[in-house]
Chain A
Amino acid sequence: MHPYDRFARWWLPVGGGAVLATVLTVGWATQPDRFSRAFAPEQPIPYSHRLHAGSMKIPCEYCHTGVRKSRHAGIPAVQTCMNCHAVTRTDRPAIQKLAALARSGEALPWKRVHRLPDHVFFDHRPHVAAGIACQTCHGEVQEMEVVSQRMSMRMGNCLGCHRDAHAALPPGSPPRKGPENCNACHR
Chain B
Amino acid sequence: MSDRAFAVLGLFDTPDALLSAIPRVRARDLGRLEAYTPYPVHGLEKALGLKKSPLAGMVLVMGLLGALSAFLFQFWATGIDYPTVVGGKSPLAWQAYIPIVFEVMVLFATFTAGLGMLLLLNRLPFYGHPVLASRSIAAVTRDRFALSVEAAGAELDVEAAARALREAGASAVEVVLVPPEAGPYSPNALLRGLLSVAAACLVAGLATYWGIKLMPVLPPMVHMEDQPRVNAQAPSAFFPDGHAMRLPAPGAVARGYLPYGPASPEEAAALPNPLPRDARVLALGRSKYETFCAVCHGPLGDGVPTLTSAYGAKPANLQSRTVREYPDGVIFHVITRGKNAMPGYAWALTEEERWAVVHYVRVLERAQNARDEDLK
Bound complex: CA A84 to CA B224 (Å)? 40
Do B226 and A4 touch across chains, with their CB atoms under 8 A apart? no
Bound complex: CA A118 to CA B183 (Å)? 61
Min Cβ gap A36→B in Å is: 9
Min Cβ gap B310→A in Å is: 8
B82, B194, B233: the one contacting A72 at CB < 8 Å is: B233
Min Cβ gap A108→B in Å is: 9
Interface mask (B148-180 → A, CB under 8 Å = 1, otherwise 0) = 000000000000000000000000000000010
Do B241 and A107 touch across chains, with their CB atoms under 8 A apart? yes
Given A1-B182, A8-B127, A58-B307, do A118 and B341 touch, yes or no (CB 8 Å)?
A: no
- Say whether A45 faces chain B, with CB atoms less than 8 Å apart: no
Do B308 and A59 touch across chains, with their CB atoms under 8 A apart? no
Residues in A with CB closer than 8 Å to B83 are 180
Q: Which of B21-29, B41-49, B207-215, B266-274 contacts A (4 or more CB under 8 A)?
A: B207-215
A1, A51, A71: the one contacting B128 at CB < 8 Å is: A1
Interface mask (A97-118 → B, CB under 8 Å = 1, otherwise 0) = 0000000011101000000011
Q: Which of A11-19, A130-138, A139-147, A164-172 contacts B (4 or more CB under 8 A)?
A: A11-19
- Say whether B309 faces chain A, with CB atoms less than 8 Å apart: yes
Chain B residues 309-327 with CB under 8 Å of chain A are 309-313
Q: Which of B196-204, B356-364, B368-376 contacts A (4 or more CB under 8 A)?
A: B196-204
Do A119 and B232 touch across chains, with their CB atoms under 8 A apart? no
Residues in A with CB closer than 8 Å to B311 are 84, 87-88
- Say whether B243 faces chain A, with CB atoms less than 8 Å apart: yes
Do B205 and A26 touch across chains, with their CB atoms under 8 A apart? yes
Do A18 and B241 touch across chains, with their CB atoms under 8 A apart? no
Do A35 and B216 touch across chains, with their CB atoms under 8 A apart? yes
Interface mask (B58-71 → A, CB under 8 Å = 1, otherwise 0) = 00000000000000
Min Cβ gap A134→B in Å is: 12
Do B295 and A62 touch across chains, with their CB atoms under 8 A apart? yes
- Say whether A61 faces chain B, with CB atoms less than 8 Å apart: yes
Residues in A with CB closer than 8 Å to B182 are 1
Interface mask (B218-259 → A, CB under 8 Å = 1, otherwise 0) = 000000111101011101000001110000000000000000
Bound complex: CA A77 to CA B292 (Å)? 15
B209, B233, B243, B291: the one contacting A62 at CB < 8 Å is: B291
Residues in A with CB closer than 8 Å to B82 are 159, 180
Chain A residues 41-75 with CB under 8 Å of chain B are 51, 55-59, 61-62, 65, 70-72, 74-75
A contacts with B, residue count (CB < 8 A)? 55
Do A109 and B225 touch across chains, with their CB atoms under 8 A apart? no
Residues in A with CB closer than 8 Å to B208 are 26, 30
B209, B291, B343: the one contacting A29 at CB < 8 Å is: B209
Do A118 and B227 touch across chains, with their CB atoms under 8 A apart? yes
Do B309 and A55 touch across chains, with their CB atoms under 8 A apart? yes
- Say whether A92 faces chain B, with CB atoms less than 8 Å apart: no
- Say whether A126 faces chain B, with CB atoms less than 8 Å apart: no
- Say whether A183 faces chain B, with CB atoms less than 8 Å apart: no
Min Cβ gap B351→A in Å is: 14
Residues in B with CB closer than 8 Å to A90 are 312
Q: Among the interface residues B179, B208, B226, B227, which one has the most CB atoms of the partner chain A within 10 A? A: B208
Do A18 and B198 touch across chains, with their CB atoms under 8 A apart? yes
- Say whether B264 faces chain A, with CB atoms less than 8 Å apart: no
Bound complex: CA A88 to CA B341 (Å)? 10
18 contacts between A and B (CB under 8 A): A1-B183, A2-B179, A3-B127, A5-B125, A6-B185, A14-B193, A14-B197, A18-B201, A30-B209, A56-B306, A62-B295, A62-B348, A65-B348, A70-B232, A88-B309, A107-B241, A119-B225, A159-B82
Taking beta carbons and an 8 Å cutoff, which residues of B are in contact with A?
Answer: 82-83, 125-128, 179, 181-185, 193-194, 197-198, 200-202, 204-205, 208-209, 212-213, 216, 224-227, 229, 231-233, 235, 241-243, 290-292, 295, 306-313, 341, 343, 347-348
6 A-B pairs closest in CB distance: A2-B128, A87-B312, A107-B242, A117-B225, A4-B127, A118-B227
Known pairs A25-B205, A26-B205, A80-B347; list 5 more (Cβ under 8 Å). A26-B212, A30-B212, A56-B308, A58-B295, A65-B347
